[in-house]
Chain A
Amino acid sequence: GAVVSQHPSRVICKSGTSVKIECRSLDFQATTMFWYRQFPKQSLMLMATSNEGSKATYEQGVEKDKFLINHASLTLSTLTVTSAHPEDSSFYICSAPHRGTNYGYTFGSGTRLTVV
């Protein structure tokens, strides 16, 4: 089945630094990748949608300069948390609808970001 590989699984960084999270589609081409954020014991909140070869679209309230998304190829989408602060600590997950909306989506395994 379709697999989305997400790295790193865990990262601890200092305040003010930037962190890059990668999601790779291993056996399919992901023209679209969704990025979610999840706080403990809460549901997933959509942050942004990345589309290969075009600018990402961000949900209301998500700072595009804070969360930089790049989707330079059909198999790689990246999320960079810039100038991270403790409040950015969260679980970030990517997802790709590899067969359209009438099939289940494939999710990455998630990245636990802790900013100290």
Chain B
Amino acid sequence: SQQGEEDPQALSIQEGENATMNCSYKTSINNLQWYRQNSGRGLVHLILIRSNEREKHSGRLRVTLDTSKKSSSLLITASRAADTASYFCATPSNDYKLSFGAGTTVTVRA
């Protein structure tokens, strides 16, 4: 089942610019995870933020979490053509099931 919404649905930016996408979820969580999916491929885990964390960095990625608003954001800085992909947030339930957001499709123009 889908956990919530992501916005925007699609994002087109110039190489070198930053890309920000947001995710909202409905239930209480232990952590929130972000994944990338290249066209026609499986998902790759990018970063996980725990419910007691507010911000986390990994390379050019920055994730924030606001549990009071049940929302998270993913920022990709200094985007590259290789960042072109769909990005999904996901939250695990107690029975290990991952619920995915609707996804944001990012296109980085050279």
Interface residues of chain A, those whose CB is within 8 Å of chain B, are 4, 6, 32, 34, 41-46, 49, 59, 91, 93, 95, 97, 100-110, 112
Q: Is the CB of A91 within 8 A of B103?
A: no
Q: Is the CB of A44 within 8 A of B100?
A: yes
Q: Is the CB of A107 within 8 A of B44?
A: yes
Q: A43-B88, A43-B101 are in contact. Are A101 and B43 (CB under 8 A)?
A: no
Of A42, A44, A102, the contact of B31 (CB 8 Å cutoff) = A102
- Chain A residues in 8 Å Cβ range of B41: 109-110
How far is A45 from B99 in the complex, measured between Cα atoms in Å? 8
Q: Is the CB of B97 within 8 A of A49?
A: yes
Q: Is the CB of A105 within 8 A of B42?
A: no
How far is A6 from B42 in the complex, measured between Cα atoms in Å? 9
Q: Is the CB of B42 within 8 A of A104?
A: no
Q: Is B13 in contact with chain A by the CB < 8 A criterion? A: no
Of B31, B44, B50, B98, the contact of A46 (CB 8 Å cutoff) = B98
How far is A82 from B45 in the complex, measured between Cα atoms in Å? 31
- Chain B residues in 8 Å Cβ range of A108: 42
CB distance from A46 to the nearest CB of B (A): 6
Q: List 30 A-B contacts (CB under 8 A).
A: A4-B42, A32-B96, A34-B96, A34-B97, A34-B98, A42-B103, A43-B2, A43-B100, A43-B103, A45-B1, A45-B2, A46-B1, A46-B97, A49-B95, A49-B97, A59-B1, A95-B43, A97-B98, A101-B30, A101-B31, A101-B92, A101-B94, A102-B30, A102-B31, A102-B48, A105-B45, A105-B98, A107-B35, A107-B45, A112-B40
